[in-house]
Amino acid sequence: MLKHNITDSGIRFKMISNNEYLLRHMEYSFGFPDSKFGEIVYYRTYSRIMESGAQEYWPDTVIRVINGVFTIRKWWIETHNLPWDEKAAQSRAFGMAVRMLRMLWLPPGRGLWVMGTDYLYHRGGMALYNCAFVEVTDLSKDVAWLMDALMCGCGVGFGIPSEPADAVMPNRTITLYRIPDTREGWVESVRLLLESYQHGMSTVDFDYSLIRPYGEPIHGFGGMASGPAPLIELHDRIRVQMKEYAHGRTTWTRLVADLCNAVGLCVVVGNVRRSAEICLGSPSNEDFINLKNYAKFPYRQTWGWMSNNSARLKTRNDFLKLEVLAERIIDNGEPGIYNSLNVERYARYGDQSYGPDAAIGINPCGEIPLESYEVCNLSEVFPTRCGSRREFLEAVEDATFYSSTVSLFPTHSPETNAVVARNRRIGVSLSGIAEWIDTYGAPRITKWLKDGYHKVREVNKEANRQAGVPASIRVTTVKPSGTISQLTGVPSGMHYPTFSYAIRRIRMDQNSPVLPILRDAGYFIEPVVEFHKPEESGGRKSFLKYKHYAGEGMVSYESLTSVVVEIPIELGRARPASEVSAWEQFTILAMLQREWADNSVSCTVYFDREKESHQVANMLSSYVPIVKSVSMLPHTEQGDYPQMPYQGITKEIYLERVAQLQDLDWSALTGVDGSPGLYCDGDVCEIS
């Protein structure tokens, strides 16, 4: 809870009624119009219940978001006794809203869902931030912060420092903690338990009686309660892990990874938030390199899949490990690579104009380098939906203004606020890049990227000057996207689509008011099938196929109450990924790092295991020195497991499936209050 929140101040911004009227009567279009996939995603995920009790339509969501952005800025300006120009704000707000309505730019999914709500005004800005990182040096403090950020919906990276910490067994006296039925209560229980081992304090025992039972709704942030079982399981695991470390039977590296992964597992199973993690360690540390080697560490199968693992290259000698890392990538797609030297030195590659960066880690999707306790918010521009260079630059301006404003809004964490106030880091992203390149070619795109970057810098500098804060240390990125790109109908981030035509399967609660509308329109719907263990499928991020599996004998509440809806989609003008070589993907990554992204680029380079494996070491040696982060995965057979998120089909089958669908009638929809967006909205990073 914020000490001084917007609700208490009474400061709110509202677009003039005539502009709201105009917005509600303007034309707009979602992506994938043949099968209505974009609008289905919107009504399932982002449409909320208004104060009047009516269901939001897209213009209503736009109005809520824009009013929310300008409320934050007005609150900041007036509480700091700075000049506020209402007329200029109204003009700017309307222009932003029009371009958002047309989906030339958008906030991230979490911004669509929570911006402009009272929850945000009371609880602070953490729910608006996509990316977070913590270097684990103080177990009780840092692991508790990681858990808190995960439960707020952030994707969290964690780093394993080389210097280990001490731990001892607690003494025999007992301290009882009665856990409140809140996010803060769950986090505090973990902090107290870890602290008892750090300092040899009293043994902590817990009373779980206040935690609401399984299946009850979680008010405020949404979801259904799991009951205390996941937290009890986490406490038991922490006790075992800390006892093993205190007695010298496990290493510092395995302890940190095990604790953070177990916390992530608790968050997923508890259905408190969907979450994702990335673990950073030294390429010279054998324990780190083998964290996903379940033949060596079989006990880690239960929670090891909770994080992607990336090698942090901090010295020139670390780059000598690229050949060894290439062998492991060919085998199972891990680890990824984080080039700490480039992060420290450059904004865009070779550009030292904006000073060094003290970031030491990165978020799970790999697009935002971060300091410990730092968070970053994102926004997104869709160049192929912009009809001209002018429209592109206007959309870039809107996205920059959005993210620059969000960075003004404090979180509930003083440590986080201190870093954000110093850096004001934001991430203005682009999506549909593959389609953009294949349609217009690299020469035109390179010029637009240069012009766009300078526009971001110009707008951010002026917006922050007006707010009395420094310009952001870093401002641009390419995120993987996901549901947001699905709203607009473009390929995600810089990635090429897997198929030209596909069946897209999405999960929905079986009691969702959206389902009867889809059923009446002829969409195929079936119950969720049994889940498999992630380790059975093999390979980096392969657990994405089984997103709701969560440990031996445990599944999330959502997996027990969901159905699957099949939607035929055409994936645009970009080539399918199978036609794009790994070398070409690396070339695009390097171009984006050079011309656009002064943070990083979320990129998984897919390679042909038979034709390109022998070149992986050469690719890494050629491109890792000029980028900030990258991961690689072998193309895999599509397989035949049940209910794949994407299943390739022919154009003929696509047309046949589309022809069977009827128009969707949303007029009767009511009672849907959206669903919290994933931290990065991307299938690449989506863990649960």
- Taking a C-beta distance cutoff of 8 angstroms, is the pair 205, 192 a contact? no
Other CB atoms within 10 Å distance of the CB of residue 91: 12
The amino acid that residue 450 corresponds to is K
For residues 192 and 190, what is the distance between their CA atoms, to the nearest angstrom? Answer: 5
List CB contacts of 648: < 8 A, sequence separation 6 or more.
498, 499, 501, 502, 638
What kind and span of H or E run contains 574? none
Question: Residue 634 to residues 331, 364, 366, 409, 541: CA-CA distances in angstroms?
Answer: 9, 19, 18, 41, 11
For residues 585 and 450, what is the distance between their CA atoms, to the nearest angstrom? Answer: 20
Other CB atoms within 10 Å distance of the CB of residue 34: 14
For residues 398 and 207, what is the distance between their CA atoms, to the nearest angstrom? Answer: 49
Using alpha carbons, select from 490, 375, 357, 475 the residue that is nearest to residue 421: 375
The amino acid that residue 247 corresponds to is H
Give, in degrees to the nearest 5, the angle at Cα 449 between 596 and 626: 35
What kind and span of H or E run contains 513? none
List CB contacts of 15: < 8 A, sequence separation 6 or more.
23, 63, 66, 67, 90, 93, 94, 97
Q: Which alpha helices (H) appear in 279-413, and where do they start and end?
A: 286-289, 322-332, 340-345, 389-406
In this structure, is the dihedral angle defined by the CA atoms of residues 397, 399, 404 and 409, taken in order, positive or negative? positive
DSSP state of 638: -
Peptide bond before residue 513 is cis, with ω within 30 degrees of 0? no
- Taking a C-beta distance cutoff of 8 angstroms, is the pair 191, 161 a contact? no
Q: Which of 260, 266, 365, 680 is catalytic?
A: 365
Respond yes or no: is residue 365 known to be catalytic. Answer: yes
In this structure, is the dihedral angle defined by the CA atoms of residues 503, 509, 510 and 513, taken in order, positive or negative? negative
Q: Which of 195, 277, 367, 595 is catalytic?
A: 367
Tokens 């996010």 -> residue? 183
Using alpha carbons, select from 153, 147, 306, 136 the residue that is nearest to residue 235: 147
DSSP state of 547: T
In this structure, the dihedral spanned by the alpha carbons of residues 494, 498, 502 and 508, taken in order and rounded to 10 degrees, is -70
Using alpha carbons, select from 552, 512, 506 the residue that is nearest to residue 531: 552
Backbone φ and ψ of 439, nearest 5°: -90, -45
User: Helix, strand, coil: what percent of the chain each, to 5?
Assistant: 45, 15, 40
Respond yes or no: is residue 260 known to be catalytic. Answer: no
The amino acid that residue 357 corresponds to is D
Using alpha carbons, select from 229, 267, 12 the residue that is nearest to residue 151: 267
Using alpha carbons, select from 109, 77, 69, 76 the residue that is nearest to residue 93: 69
Catalytic residues: 365, 367
